[in-house]
Structure 1
Amino acid sequence: MLSVKPTCTIAVIFLAIPLFTSPCSSAETDRPLNVILFFADDLGSIDLNCYGSTDLNTPHIDDLAQRGVRFTQFYVASPVCSPSRAALITGRYPQRAGVPGNVPSQPGHRGMPPEQVTLGEILSGAGYKTALMGKWHLGTLPDYHPNSQGFQEFFGHKAGCIDNYSHFFYWAGPHFHDMWRNRQEHWEQGTHFSDLIVRESEQFLEANQDKPFLLYVPFNIPHYPMQAADRFREMYADLPEPRRSYAAITSHMDDAIGQIMAKVDELKLRERTLVIFLSDHGHSTEERANFGGGNAGPYRGAKFSVLEGGIRVPAIVSLPGIIPEGQTRDQVAVSIDWLPTIADYCDVTLPDRTFDGRSIKSVIHDPDAATPHPTFHWQLGHQWAVRDGDWKLVVNGNDTQHKTRLEGNDRIFLSNMAVDVTETNNIAAQHPDIVTRLTKLHKQWAAEVTP
C-alpha cells in the first residue's frame, strides 16, 4: 500500500458508530487528505471528450482525467438513481443498503434506513468536516435527512429532480418547492441550481481550507429538465435535438466542476485533495428527457437497464503527486469501491461491518493489479445480471435505449465481454454450463444480500 503520510491515532465517537482512526499529519501539509466526490446524474457512458465524444465540450472533467486515472470498465451498482446513490455512500450493494429501487420523492417518505453507515458518518467520525451540495433522493423524513446521515452541511434538494430555476419538484403532482439549507427550506428562485451548488461549494472550501473535509457534490444534471444557461445552448446551435439540449446541460455541469476546481487551485489545495468523478448510471431515454440525447457508444441499454449502457459509466480519480497522471485502467471496478478506497487514501479505519466494496488503490497505482471484483451482481426489479470474469449473464433484460425488452430466447442472454461488449450476440445456447453456473451464483448472492 502506498503511504501518503505518517500517522498517529485519534479516537472519536460519532453517534453509535465504532471508533475510527485518522492521521494527524502528512509530510507536506500536517493534515489529512481532503476529498471531493463529484456525482453526475444521467450521464451517458461515453459523454465526455476523454471517453471519445466529439460533439460536446467537457474540458474541465477532461482535465481531471489528464491529471489522474480514467477507468474503462467502471460500473455502478444500479441503473437508477436512489439505489446507485445508496451504494456509493455506503460501499454496499443497494439490496444490503436497504434501497433496492427508487425512493419516493414526496414529503413524508422513508428512504435509506438510518442504521446504514455512510461515507459522511465515517469521515466526520474521523474529524472531517462533511458537506453534501446537490441531490439527495434517499428519503424525506427527518431521520432520513443528510444531516442525520453524516453530512454536517446540506444544501440542495431531497426529491429526485427539481426545476433548475424555481426549485420546484414537478415530476408528478402535487408539485412542491424542494430546496433546503440543512433542515430549513431555502428560497432563491431565478438562479440556476448548478450555480447555487458552485457558490455553496466555494464557500464551504473557503471556510474549511485549513481543516480536512469531504465535499460530496451530487449534481442533478444532465438529468431532466435540461435547462442549460443560454451560453451553453448557443455552443450547440448546430446540433439537432435532443442532443443539443443534452450537450448544453452536460457542458453546464462541466463548467460548474471547473469553477469548483478553480477554487481548489486558488486555495492551493489540489495536491492534497483526492478528487473523484463518476455518473450515477447511464443516460435517460424517458419522455421527460426528450427520449434521449445521451450516448452509450457501443453499449446496449441506458438508464433503468442492467445492460452495459445502463451501468457502465465514466469514472476518474485525481490526486497530483500521488496518483499517476494521464493513465487509464481496464480492470473492472465499481462505485461501491470508492468508500473503502477513500478510507484507504485518508488512512481512516472502517467500522466493523460488511462492506461489499473493496479498495481499488492498488488498481489506481498499477495497471496490472487484479480487479477486486472477479464476480459482480446487479438486480433491479425482475431484471438481474451477473458478471463473472468476461462472462456476463442478463436475465429479463430491458433495452431502454431501443425501448425493447429481451424476450423469447433472449430472456436469458449470455455475452463474453472480451469478445462482444455490445451484448447483441446471445451465446447462451452454446454455453448452457456457463448459464447454469452464473444462475447459481446469482441465487446465492440474492439470498445473502436480501433482508
Structure 2
Amino acid sequence: MSKKPNVILILTDDQGWADVNCYGSKDLHTPNMDKLAHEGVRFTQFYAAASVCSPSRASMLTGMNPHAAGLPGNASSTKGETGMPTDRFTLAEMMKQAGYATGHVGKWHLGYTPETMPNGQGFDYSYGHMGGCIDNYSHFFYWHGPNRHDLWENGKEIWADGKYFPDLMATQAEAFIDQHSMEPFFLYYAINLPHYPLQPDEKWRAYYKDLDSPRKEYAAFVSTIDERIGKLLKKLDALGLRENTVIIFQSDHGYSKEERTFGGGGSAGPFRGAKFSLFEGGIRVPAIISWKGHLPENVSRNQMALNIDWFPTIAELCGIATPSNLEGKSLVPILKNNDIPSKHQTFIWQNNGSWAVRKNDWKLIGDPWDSSDKGRLDPEKDKLFLTNMAMDSTEMTNLSAKYPEKVAELLAEYTHWPYSKLEQ
C-alpha cells in the first residue's frame, strides 16, 4: 500500500447548496454525503469560481479563475471542438508528475479534441462523456442530434447501449481503485447528476413519490448519487484504503431551473439565485473534505473558500511542491485550525454580462440576474447590487444607496481586474 495518500475528488453537477441533509435539507436521503461531513470538514461559505459547468471545472483543475484557465464559458459539446488550452498545468498533470496513477470517470466538458480530452490533460485513464450532458441509457448527447453518441474510454468511442450510466461510472471508479490499490492514485469522479435529464433509479422514484414535482424527480436523482458514493466508500473500506485516502466532495455550481429539469427541483436554502446567476445560490456550493485520522472530523468552517483552493490543498496534503502561479490557496491551515482567517480577501466572478466582487463580507454584483426568480430587480436601481454577507446573506435587499463608498471600492476592484469588461 502506498504511503502517499490517495485522492478522490467527487464533483456533482447542478446540485444546490442546501441539497444535502448536513446543509439543511429536511426531505432528502443523503446518508453517505452526510457521512463524509461527519468524518470530515464541511464548508459553509464555499464557492465555485463560475456559475456554469465548464469554467467551474476548468478553474478547479487549474487552481486559477476561469479566465486565466482559458475557458470563461462552456466548452462545445461537439466532437472536434477544442476547449481548455493544453498549456494550462492541470491538477492531474501535477499528480502524474508526483508518481500518482490518474483517472477520470464521468463528465468532462472541457474540450472534445484528443489534445483537450482527459488523456491529453494529464489523465492516464478516462471513462465517460465529453459533452455537457447525455441520456443515461443511450449515452447520446441530450440536446441537439439525434446522432451524437458520447461515451468514451481513453479517447476511443465505446458502446454500452441501455446500460445505466451512473452504474457504469460506479463500476469504472471501483475498478480504477482496485487496479491501483497498491500505488498512490488520484481519481477525478465527475458525476453527471443531478444535471438533466432526471433519470433516477426506480427505487428512489418510489421513495419520493409523495413529494411534489419537480422536487421528487430531483430528490430521487440526488439519492441516486448518494448511493453510488456509498458504494465507493465501501470499496475503500474493503481494501483498507479509507484512512489513506483524501476524499473531497463538492457541486460544480448551483441547481438548475431550466426547462429540461422541469423548471427546478433543487434548493439553495436561504440564498437567492441558481445556476447561471452570480447571486449566492448560483455560486455557493456544498463542499466537504475527509481524511480519517489526519483531518478534523464532524466540524464546519465558515471561512470563504473556493474550488481553486483544492489544487494547492491537495498538493500540501500529498507533500507535493505547489506551482507558483496558482490563484488558489491551500486550505490546510484552516482545516486544522478554525481561528485561521480566510485566505481570500477578494475574488471576482464574471458570467456573460454579469460580474461580481466579493471583498471580505461585502459583495457587489453588476448587472445582476436572479435565475431563481426569488425577487424582482429594477433595471436601473439594481444595476449595481450591494450586499454584506455578515448582515444579510440572502441578498434580497440592495444596500448600494446606503453604502456608496463600498460600491465605489468594489467597483474599482472589478474595473482594475485584468479580465474586466468595463473600461478602465
Give the TM-score, by structure 2 length: 0.97
Residues 34 and 414 of structure 1, relative CA distance in 2, 3 Å threshold: same
Checking the alignment, whether the CA contact within 8 Å between 1:96 and 1:449 is kept in structure 2 is no
Q: Which amino acid aligns with 1:368?
A: D
Match among 107, 121, 124 for residue 96 of structure 2: 124
Deviation at 1:170, TM superposition (A): 2.3
Q: Distance in 2 between matches of 1:241 and 1:44?
A: 16
Find the counterpart in structure 2 of residue 72 from structure 1: 44
1:240 aligns to 2:212 (yes or no): yes
Question: Equivalent residue for 2:237?
Answer: 265
Work out the CA distance in 2 between the residues paired with 1:58 and 1:331. 24
Does the aligned pair in 1 maintain the 2:142–2:197 contact within 8 Å?
Answer: no
Deviation string for 1:280-330 (max 9, x for gaps)?
000000001111000111100000001000000000000011100000001
- Is the aligned partner of 1:280 residue 2:252? yes
Comparing both structures, which one devotes a greater share of its residues to strand? 1
Match of 1:360 among 320, 327, 331: 331
Q: Does 1:180 align with 2:152?
A: yes
Match of 2:354 among 358, 383, 394: 383
Which of 281, 299, 311 is equivalent to 1:309? 281
Q: Structure 1 393/203 Cα, relative in aligned 2: closer, same or farther at 3 Å?
A: same
Number of the residue aligned with 2:79: 107
Corresponding residue for residue 133 of structure 2: 161
* Cα distance in 1 for residues equivalent to 2:59 and 2:377: 26
Structure 2 Cα separation of the partners of residues 172 and 364 of structure 1 = 44
Between the aligned partners of 1:272 and 1:142, the Cα distance in structure 2 is 33
1:318 to 290, 299, 303: 290
Change (3 A) 1:104 1:199: same
Q: Distance in 2 between matches of 1:35 and 1:405?
A: 43
Is the Cα contact below 8 Å between 2:100 and 2:186 reproduced in 1?
Answer: yes
Q: 1:429 to 1:64 in 2, by over 3 A?
A: same
Provide the residue aligned with 2:408 in structure 1.
436
Are 1:374 and 2:312 an aligned pair?
Answer: no
Q: CA deviation at 1:405?
A: 5.8
Alignment of 1:26-425 (within 5 A): 31-352=3-324, 354-402=325-373, 407-425=379-397
Q: CA deviation at 1:174?
A: 4.7
Q: Distance in 1 between matches of 2:378 and 2:339?
A: 36
Percent identity of the aligned residues? 49
Question: For residues 157-183 of structure 1, what are the alpha-carbon distances to aligned partners after superposition, in whole Å with 9 as ceiling and x for unaligned?
Answer: 000000001100021235411001111
Q: Deviations over 1:343-397 (max 9, x none)?
A: 0000111234x21100010111111111010111110111000011110001111
Q: Aligned partner of 1:38: which letter?
A: I
Deviations 1:61-89 (A, max 9, x none): 10000000000100000000000000011
Question: Number of paired residues?
Answer: 421
SS in 2 for 1:168: coil
Question: What amino acid does structure 2 have at the position aligned with 1:382?
Answer: G
Shift of 1:446: 3.2
- The DSSP-based 3-state class of the residue aligned with 1:409 is coil
- CA separation in 1, counterparts of 2:367 and 2:388? 18
Alpha-carbon distance in 1 for matches of 2:117, 2:213: 37
Task: After TM superposition, give the deviation of residue 409 of structure 1 in Å.
Answer: 0.3
Alignment check: 8 A CA contact 1:396 1:406 kept: no
One-letter code aligned to 1:379: Q
User: In the alignment, residue 384 of structure 1 is paired with which amino acid?
Assistant: W
Q: CA deviation at 1:447?
A: 4.4
Per the alignment, in what secondary structure is the counterpart of residue 322 of structure 2?
A: coil
Structure 2: gaps spanning 5 or more residues? none
TM-score when normalising by structure 1? 0.91
- C-alpha separation between the residues in 1 aligned to 2:120 and 2:146? 26
Distance 1:120 1:413 in 2: 38
For 2:377 and 2:125, the matched residues in 1 are separated by 42
The separation in 2 between residues aligned to 1:256 and 1:314, in whole angstroms, is 18
Stretch deviating more after TM superposition (405-414 or 415-424): 405-414
Once the two structures are TM-superposed, the CA of residue 184 in structure 1 deviates from its matched residue by 1.0
CA deviation after TM superposition for structure 1 residue 261, in Å: 1.0
Is contact 1:72-1:329 (8 Å) kept?
Answer: yes
Residue 211 of structure 1 aligns to a residue whose secondary structure is: coil
C-alpha offsets along residues 13-57 of structure 1, whole Å, 9 cap, x if unaligned? Answer: xxxxxxxxxxxxxxxx66211000000000011000000101111
CA contact (8 A) 1:391 1:417 kept: yes
**Which amino acid counterpart does residue 364 of structure 2 have in structure 1?**
L
* Structure 1 segments of 4+ aligned residues over 3 angstroms from their partners: 403-406, 446-450
Preserved contact between residue 2 and residue 183 of structure 2 (Cα < 8 Å)? no
Partner of 1:22: none
Deviation at 1:406, TM superposition (A): 5.6
Query: Match of 1:92, SS?
Result: coil
CA distance in 2, matches of 1:128, 1:138: 22
The question of whether the paired residues in 1 share the 8 Å contact of 2:170 and 2:232 is answered with: yes
Range 343-352 or range 323-332, more displaced: 343-352
